A and B are shown apart, each in its own frame.
Chain A
Amino acid sequence: MRAARYLAAMAVLTAAAGPGGAPASGQQHEGHMMATDSMGPVWRMPPQPIPMPMMLPGLMGAVPGVTPYLPDPGHDPAMLPEAVFRGVVEMADGDTLRLEAGFVRRTIGMRTFTMYGFNGQYPGPLIRVPQGAEIIVLFTNHIDLPTAVHWHGVRLENEFDGVPGVTQDPVEPGESFVYRVYFRDAGLYWYHPHHREDIQQDLGLYGNMLVDASAADYYGPANGEDFLMFDDLLVDEGGLFPWGREAAVQTLMGRFGNQLLVNGEPRWEATVRRGEVRRLYLTNVANTRTFNLVPEGAEMKLVGADVSKFERESFISNVVLAPAQRYIVDARFDEPGTYALLNPIQAIDHFNGRFYPQTDTLGIVTVLDEPVAEDHGDAFSTLREHADVIEDIDRYRPEFDRPVDHELELTVRVGDLPSDIVAVMAIDTLYFPPVEWTDAMPMMNFLSTSENLTWILRDVRTGKENRDIDWRFAVGDVRKIRIHNQRRSFHPMQHPIHIHGQRFLVLSKDGVPSDNLAWKDTVVIPVGSTFDILLEASNSGRWMAHCHIAEHLEAGMSMVFTVDPG
């Protein structure tokens, strides 16, 4: 039955896309200038976070050895449709969604840019489905680059995972692909391209998916929900700062933006009643930036992570959200007033050798004096224990003490980076904090590309790296994987490691066992740390595992493993 629906959808989509249904490829429009990006695709020095020398003396005027790229619709960008704020698409088992990646005109603050959008929206449509549902997605590519859609965290059939080169061919401009997406687990997920995502995701191709559990009391009571997708965009006086066409640039630290965004807007705004409990669904869709979220005026309770709830709820003061990660948090606003959602970090000033505080305001919440009609204060102050999660994890506890099955080391190899940079980095990176919150060395980052720098997943036991690694499991296998982020390398940095198609538990960090588990699909490994994770191989096929810093992925940091049918 499902196969029949799938075939029918394929036929509909093929007819609908037709010839000329998409703009021509970017290759045909090289040389066009962006009306909204006044300087066009021209390399210039990247914006600097604080006053410091723009470039080492020997490197003044140096630019990456790849062609600068900006999205090119092939006609006057002013004629593009203005993107609209995302809608919610409630879907049932068997429903079909038409999803199109295309050009949009985006106004961010006072500026207008040519960007991408799913269905003309920012972010893409919020897909809401019941647990156990399967939907058909008729996807068509109307942008100027090949693409594909990855359903992040969803344990679906392998052929629909949306990874060009592993599970499918890229969807060329004007072409279509039909995805069949099965939602096995309740929770918060997101979709995004998995082909040059350093460009496409950054330009707005992302959206959330919420899978509702069948149990009405799966979560505690709340008065409302907010879906917040955190991102950043790199702009200067010339408009969008270009990406690399043939290869990714800024591969050393990833592309940090200087315009922080929540749901594609510079600021999230909400108004709530006094005593209201809001359920916050948080997703980091930035290329490389990790956020430290602090909502003023609210108590917060951590409820869930990527693929499940935690065993126990816990009160928290901040949420650290690495790229691709999701958390579900309940926030209660007790006192009337106006409060900020902040991102306070300690940035590094390498020029002066010091940390300095940097706080961005991501949102404003107005708490009215009027009390909420239905007060969930008592339920909020009670920390629930999730018996369903504990019972599920109990089946795996006997495996917690098993020997390590596989070990991965995270490191980097330098190619032909300019020797001045290599020399300076050797002095300037003798110390690295566990996390880089900003681009502290933009001029060095600027010149690194996926051609002169390789980020590495190394199998410690075999010495194999990245795509040469060939792990093989069978459905039902449970394996302990140790991941170590090597601090003694050219440029150590945190890595959010995402494993496709499966779920895992974070058993320990630096030898300290986790005391409150949740199923995850992405774990961030700070510099110098070692994590043990327990992988449940539950889904057959060839799957990717990789760093979710988009530029690190482009610079090689990925591997493929196979799960054979049990």
Chain B
Amino acid sequence: MKQLAGVIGAAFGFAIILGFAITLGSLVSGEARAAGPSEVPAPAGPVPWADAASRVGTMPRAGTCLVTPEVVPLSGTQSAPGSRGSMTLTQPGSPFEITVDDGGFQTFDLEIQVDQLRHRRGAVYVAWAAKPELDEWVRLGTLDEENRLTGRVAWNQFLVFVSEEASADVERWQGPIMLTGLSPSGRLHTMAGHGPFEAMNCQLYF
């Protein structure tokens, strides 16, 4: 009986991983069905951590600096091995101290900083955010000359990825995905596994 349960569990797990892999694959190849871009309001005012973006592993600690923005890594894909960067998340100001929208979604200001990326002549690099189910996505914008970008996202869990494009005018990604990252909520573990992030190497984010 236990063996049967194990087989069923393994098959279920494999199905989840396979499903995720297929979906991710179609995302990378630009074939995901998307609901289209949502509005991405510009961040209000300067991003506070532009000069203080820390790398993972050097997160400020209480006692030295009490302010702890969330910093998560962006990792190169097979299309851009060795590429890396980071995404720094802060919560915008609010008269209510907690910043959620009228759907209850947490709002984040994010700053993307790509540190290492081999540029192809004439290419532009566009950043996107997508919900874990990949049914909604937004175009965050184009990396500037310093490989930086700021934006705002009102989702609790999301993927961020950077695509290489021939033009900055693309309404959705067409070129290869170069870097990917996961919002801190990707650490949301479960008693049953890693939920929608079953295929992700969560250790990467600790």
Contacts and interface: CB of A to CB of B under 8 A. Distances in A.
Given A431-B186, A510-B91, A511-B67, A524 B98 contact: yes
Given A353-B189, A431-B189, A524-B98, A345 B66 contact: no
Contact of A407 (B66, B187, B196): B66
Interface string B94-110: 11111011111110000
Interface string A502-515: 00001001111111
A381 to B, nearest CB: 19
Contacts of B79: none
A526 B104 contact: no
A353 B190 contact: yes
Nearest to A318: B102
Interface in A334-388: 344-346, 348, 350-355, 357-359
Contact of A512 (B90, B185, B196): B90
Given A433-B106, A434-B106, A510-B48, A320 B70 contact: no
B45 A292 contact: no
Interface in B103-152: 103-106, 132
A205 interface: no
Contact of B69 (A344, A353, A510): A510
A509 B194 contact: no
A547 interface: no
Given A318-B101, A353-B193, A433 B185 contact: yes
A53 interface: yes
Contacts of A488: 62
Contacts of A486: 62
A512 B98 contact: no
B13 to A, nearest CB: 13
B75 to A, nearest CB: 18
Interface stretch (A101-109, A238-246, A268-276, A528-536): A528-536
Nearest to A424: B191
Interface in A513-549: 513-516, 518, 523-526, 528-531
A430 B104 CA distance: 21
Interface string A413-439: 000000000001001101101110100
B94 A353 contact: no
Interface residues of A, number: 66
A346 B104 CA distance: 5
A460 B48 contact: no
A484 B66 contact: yes
B100 A318 contact: yes
B48 A353 contact: no
Interface in A300-327: 302, 305, 310, 314, 316-322, 327
Contacts of A345: 100, 104
A460 B97 contact: no
Interface string B171-199: 00000000000001111111111111100
- With a 10 A CB-CB cut-off, give which of B97, B156, B191 has the most chain A CB atoms: B97
A155 interface: no
Contacts of A209: none
Interface residues of B, number: 45
Interface in B154-168: 156-157
Nearest to B49: A511
A427 B194 CA distance: 11
A528 to B, nearest CB: 6
B97 A484 contact: no
B100 A354 contact: no
Contact of B91 (A317, A357, A529): A529
Q: Is the interface of B mostly helix, strand, loop or mixed?
A: loop
B51 to A, nearest CB: 11
Contacts of B202: 430
A358 B103 CA distance: 9
A494 interface: yes
A353 B192 contact: yes
Interface in A472-520: 482, 484, 486-488, 494, 506, 509-516, 518
Contacts of B68: 484, 487, 528, 530
A302 to B, nearest CB: 6
A511 B190 CA distance: 33
Contacts of A482: 66
Given A344-B104, A525-B97, A355 B156 contact: yes
A509 B184 contact: no
A425 to B, nearest CB: 11
- With a 10 A CB-CB cut-off, give which of B103, B104, B196 has the most chain A CB atoms: B104
B22 to A, nearest CB: 19
A509 B91 contact: yes
A351 B132 CA distance: 17
B67 A484 contact: yes
B100 A435 contact: yes
A257 to B, nearest CB: 18
Contact of A528 (B70, B185, B187, B206): B70
A287 interface: no
A294 interface: yes
A409 interface: yes
B98 A526 contact: yes
B93 A514 contact: yes
A290 interface: yes
B41 interface: no
B196 A346 contact: no
Contact of A430 (B132, B191, B195, B206): B206
A69 B160 CA distance: 50
- With a 10 A CB-CB cut-off, give which of A305, A310, A435, A437 has the most chain B CB atoms: A435
B19 to A, nearest CB: 15
A509 B95 CA distance: 10
Contact of B105 (A322, A346, A353): A346
Nearest to A514: B93
A348 B104 CA distance: 12
- With a 10 A CB-CB cut-off, give which of A53, A424, A512, A514 has the most chain B CB atoms: A512
B96 A509 contact: no
Contacts of B96: 319-321, 327, 524
A427 B189 contact: yes
Nearest to B183: A431
A346 B197 CA distance: 18
A491 B92 CA distance: 24
Contacts of B157: 354-355
A260 B191 CA distance: 28
Given A354-B157, A358-B104, 7 more contacts: A317-B101, A318-B102, A346-B105, A354-B190, A355-B188, A494-B98, A512-B90
**Nearest 3 Cβ contacts at the A-B interface:** A353-B195, A353-B190, A431-B187
6 contacts: A292-B100, A292-B102, A318-B100, A354-B188, A428-B189, A528-B68
